[in-house]
Amino acid sequence: MNAPPPGRRPRFPLGLAQMGQPAGPKPAAMARPQRPLQQAVQDAARMSRPATGLGMDSDAVRARMVQRLRVDGIRDEAVLAAFGRVLRHRFVDSALATQAYEDTSLPIGLEQTISKPSVVARMLALLGDTETARARGSLGRVLEVGTGCGYQTALLAELARHVVSIERLKPLHDKARVHLDDGRGHHRIRLVWGDGRVGHGPQAPYDSIIAAAGGEDLPPAWLEQLADGGRLVAPMHEPGSRRQSLLVVDRQGDRYLRQRHETVLFVPLKSGVE
C-alpha cells in the first residue's frame, strides 16, 4: 500500500533521519512536513522495509539463528517458532541490521541494549514452563517491564493472549510504538510509558511477568499483580553481590516459590520515568 515508487526505494531501514542522510531524493514522508510526525515516522518505517538489504535473505539468516537456539538447548517449539517469525533486524538501527541475527546484545540508544537472543529465548521458555501455561497453551496475560526497542514485546505477542509492556524512557517507548505499530499481533499489545516497578494495576492480574532490567530487590507490586498459578521471570542481583541471576517466582495462592537460575547481565532496573 505504501510501497515507494520504483527507483526511489531508500537504502536504509529505520533510523534514516539519524543517519544524517546526505543530499539526494528525500523519502516521501519527509517531503510533506504538514503530516503528523508519528504518521511520517510510521510511513518511513513501512517504506524502508523491503529495502533493508537483509530483507530478501533474512528468512535464511533467521532460520540459522533458530537452529542455534535449538542447539543451545531451547526445546520450546512455540518459542522457536516466534523467533522464526519476528524480524529482529527491524528493531535495531540500520547500521546494526547485519548483526541482528548474531547472538549478541546491541545498543538501542540511551545506554540501553536489545537483549541477546539466547537469553531472551531462555527467559521465554522458563516463563512458559509451568503446568498452567502448558494447559492454557499460551503465556496468557503478560506484563513486560522494559519494552526497550520492542523486540521481546513482539515475541511475547506471538506467545500470549495479551501483553502490557512498560518502558520508563519516553524516547524508547515512542520508538517501540513505531516498531510495533504495523507488526503482527499488535492488537494484543498495550505499550505504557511509566515506571515498571509499580507494574500496571489497571490490567492486573497477570499470568506471566517478565523483566528485561535487573534490580536489587523484587518490587512488591509484581508479586501482588501476579495471578494465582502465574510465573514471574526476572534478572535480579544476588543478595549482597553485584552478580545477577535469573529469578523465577511461582505463585500458588498466597505462597511464592522462588528458584534461582543462571547468571546473566542486564541493564539496571531504575525508578521513575524520563
- Residues classed as catalytic: 115
Shortest distance (Å) from residue 230 CB to ligand SAH = 19
Phi, psi of 82 (to 5 degrees): -65, -40
Instruction: Say whether residue 222 binds ligand SAH (CB under 6 A).
Output: no
Instruction: Say whether residue 58 binds ligand SAH (CB under 6 A).
Output: no
- Identify which range of 58-66, 191-199, 239-247, 252-260 contacts ligand SAH by CB under 6 A: 191-199
Whether the bond into 36 is cis, omega within 30 of 0: no
Q: Which is nearer to ligand SAH, 158 or 195 (CB)?
A: 195
Instruction: Say whether residue 83 binds ligand SAH (CB under 6 A).
Output: no
Instruction: Say whether residue 195 binds ligand SAH (CB under 6 A).
Output: yes
Burial 211-246 (b: 16+ CB within 10 A, else e): bbbbbeebbebbeebbbebbbbbbbbbeeeeeebeb
How many residues of this chain interact with ligand SAH, rule: CB under 6 A? 24
- Identify which range of 2-10, 57-65, 194-202, 254-262 contacts ligand SAH by CB under 6 A: 194-202
Instruction: Say whether residue 115 binds ligand SAH (CB under 6 A).
Output: yes
Instruction: Say whether residue 269 binds ligand SAH (CB under 6 A).
Output: yes
Angle between helices 37-48 and 170-181 (to 10 degrees): 50
Shortest distance (Å) from residue 71 CB to ligand SAH = 22
Q: Is 163 exposed, middle or buried (0-12, 13-18, 19+ CB in 10 A)?
A: buried
Closest by Cα among 177, 121, 119, 124 to 148: 177
Length of the chain: 274
CA distances from 70 to 44, 203, 234 (A): 35, 34, 22
Instruction: Say whether residue 267 binds ligand SAH (CB under 6 A).
Output: yes
Shortest distance (Å) from residue 26 CB to ligand SAH = 29
Cβ(112)–Cβ(168) under 8 Å? no
Shortest distance (Å) from residue 136 CB to ligand SAH = 23
Instruction: Say whether residue 113 binds ligand SAH (CB under 6 A).
Output: yes
Distance of CA 176 to the CA centre of its chain: 8
> What does DSSP assign to residue 114?
E
Site string for ligand SAH, 142-181 (x = CB under 6 A): ---xx-xx-xx-------------xxxx--x---------
Q: Which residues of this chain interact with ligand SAH, rule CB under 6 A? A: 108, 112-115, 145-146, 148-149, 151-152, 166-169, 172, 195-197, 212-213, 267, 269-270
